[in-house]
Chains A and B, each alone.
Chain A
Amino acid sequence: MHGLINRAIQCFIRDSYGRERWIEVTHLADLGFTDFEVMLHYDDAVTEAVLKAAARTLGVSRETVLEDLGTYLVSHPNVEALRRLLRFGGVSFVEFLHSLDELPDRARLAVDDLILPQMELHEFGVNNFSLTCHSPHKGFGHVMMGVLRTLADDYGALVFLEHLGGKPGIEVIEITLIETAFSAGRSFELGARAG
């Protein structure tokens, strides 16, 4: 798994629960080190061990850890750059949803060895969508649940999300758009710089 993803998990736990809690996770996962390097690659088993350890330390399910990670990624000031990069996807939440198809390509433009799961948006009527995530890593759909929920807020849209499960390698999220301009949302200026 790419170091960026491992590092994201580390920063999520550190920024949300404190450095001590993260150190605890590294011990429990038997990492043998305390910091992931964003530009290196790690064995998938390492990531799985960290997720398992995090769920145990925080006393929540693996799915909850992943969804909270998704929320963190697009809302915490420390990772503002990522929110901005995603907001480049579209001027409205619906446009953003449609941009998810090209998210892996966009990610590769930025970091050429970062492979993100392929996603496919299906539209049923005006306000009903389903997002199919193709990923060998179980639980990616839960990360997307957190990302979508938070970005909907960001765009000021009101949505209802449901993780429909799936089969090995595939997870499906049902998205119901209740209102596109529910609130003002957060501003997004093209020329601003992530702090």
Chain B
Amino acid sequence: MDVFDDICGVMDVICPMHVMLNSNGDIIHAGPTLAKLWQGEGYQNTRFLEMFEVLRPKAVTDMPSLLATTGHKLHVRKRTDPKTTLKGVLMPSSVSGGAVVNLSFGISIMDGVRDYALTSTDFAATDLTIEMLYLIEAKSAAMEASRKLNLRLQGAMIAAEEQAFTDTLTGLKNRRAVDFILPRLIEKGTGFALMQMDLDYFKAVNDTHGHAAGDHVLQHVARIMVEETRDEDCVARVGGDEFVLIFDGFTNRGALADLARRLIQRIEVPVPFEAIVCNISSSIGIALSRNFPLLDDAGLMAAADAALYASKRGGRAQFQFASDLENIAASITSSTETLSELSEDISSRHGRSGPLS
């Protein structure tokens, strides 16, 4: 019995999760950490296989088959809640008259420390469990930091993209934005209006009064366009004094004519800048997507552009709708001159879609 006590004392320190079994397979001693699995109740005279179900190898149901696993890895599960899974290995031993089984939590360690409130002293000094728990926490913290960095980078990327879709002088959208939106609207196929607008006499303002005056006028015009349109409309500056407005789902001819008229009226109001006053106006061409079902974004832009040139040729400060005649599609790629003539031709045939009355 002295030898048994002596061995148990040694095993309790170097393998605190071991059990000693007698020849019947009864537990006659358990290491201090493993004893915590009984959660306060004594383990004395419990049979090992009553306490644990052997998951692997299969068909271990009695002491002889348990002994047959000697030296091989065992997977066992506690039969009562929490059904902790453990791994272990059995070796026959004359000290206990049966066998010694050493167990470990393996991968279920996180649940194990929580379920049984284990502390550092529950593990052998040579056991790497504490280091593993340390690593799990350290890596989680590092991953969390990394995740946050990724989120911030993603935010910065979205902000950068947003900026790239914005005209920095006026705060309106830019050509990139139009190129992005237009094909998607065509794809969606729900109908929209595309408005092209050029400022009249803007070059004169720039040449006579300088760029500062020109910039001021552009910002002023941008403000008017934003005020006259809905939040969901796309208002973009696509060139020096060229603008594109896209109205998703707003295709009523009369309402669009009203809007164009209002824009021209407001833009014609002289703009004071320092000691001078700038006088400009604007010409507009409007294309309705439903009238050009066969055109892509470039074609639709060209159609609106053709109408815009018709307005210019018609004496500026006016707007035109692009014709819905089928043959315009074929003519769109022709020269500006031809397009203007065509538009003029169309205007005379259909009557002017009125400049200011």
Contact = CB atoms under 8 A, between A and B. Distances in A.
B33 to A, nearest CB: 12
Given A38-B149, A39-B149, A191 B118 contact: yes
Interface stretch (B15-23, B44-52, B140-148, B310-318): B140-148
A109 B135 contact: yes
B145 A38 contact: yes
A110 B135 contact: yes
A85 interface: yes
B130 interface: yes
Interface string B57-101: 000000000000000000000000000000000000000000000
A106 interface: yes
B118 A190 contact: yes
Contact of A190 (B133, B145, B146, B152): B133
Contact of A88 (B134, B141, B142, B145): B134
Contacts of B110: 191
B340 to A, nearest CB: 53
B55 interface: no
Contacts of B137: 81, 84-85, 88, 193-194
A21 B267 CA distance: 48
Interface string A165-195: 0000000000000000000000011110110
Select the residue from B113, B121, B142, B146 with max chain A CB neighbours within 10 A.
B142
B120 interface: yes
A84 B138 CA distance: 9
A111 interface: yes
Contacts of A111: 138, 142
B149 A37 contact: yes
Given A85-B138, A190-B113, A191-B110, A91 B146 contact: no
B120 A190 contact: yes
B119 interface: yes
A43 B327 CA distance: 67
A71 B343 CA distance: 79
A99 B158 CA distance: 45
B121 A91 contact: yes
B104 to A, nearest CB: 15
Given A38-B145, A111-B142, A88 B121 contact: no
A80 to B, nearest CB: 10
A38 B142 CA distance: 9
B117 A110 contact: no
A106 B137 CA distance: 12
A173 B118 CA distance: 34
Contacts of B152: 37
Nearest to B139: A110
A111 B142 CA distance: 7
B interface residue count range (under 10 / 10 to 19 / 20 to 34 / 35 or more): 20 to 34
Given A39-B149, A189-B117, A194 B141 contact: yes
A191 B117 contact: yes
B349 interface: no
A81 B119 contact: no
Contacts of B119: 91, 188-190
Given A91-B121, A190-B120, A39 B145 contact: yes
Contact of A39 (B118, B120, B121, B146): B146
B114 interface: yes
Contacts of A84: 137
A70 to B, nearest CB: 19
A66 B115 CA distance: 40
B107 to A, nearest CB: 15
Contacts of B121: 91
B147 to A, nearest CB: 10
B114 A191 contact: yes
Contacts of A81: 137, 141
B279 to A, nearest CB: 45
Interface in B129-178: 130, 133-135, 137-139, 141-142, 145-146, 148-149, 152
Contact of A109 (B114, B120, B138, B145): B138
A106 B146 CA distance: 19
B149 A88 contact: no
B48 to A, nearest CB: 26
A111 B139 CA distance: 8
B198 to A, nearest CB: 42
Interface in A82-96: 84-85, 88, 90-91
7 contacts: A38-B148, A39-B146, A39-B149, A88-B133, A91-B119, A110-B139, A191-B118
Given A85-B137, A85-B141, A109-B138, 19 more contacts: A37-B149, A37-B152, A39-B145, A84-B137, A85-B138, A88-B120, A88-B133, A90-B120, A91-B121, A106-B138, A110-B138, A110-B141, A111-B142, A188-B119, A189-B113, A189-B119, A190-B119, A190-B130, A191-B110
Q: Nearest 5 pairs between A and B by C-beta?
A: A110-B138, A191-B114, A191-B113, A88-B134, A190-B113
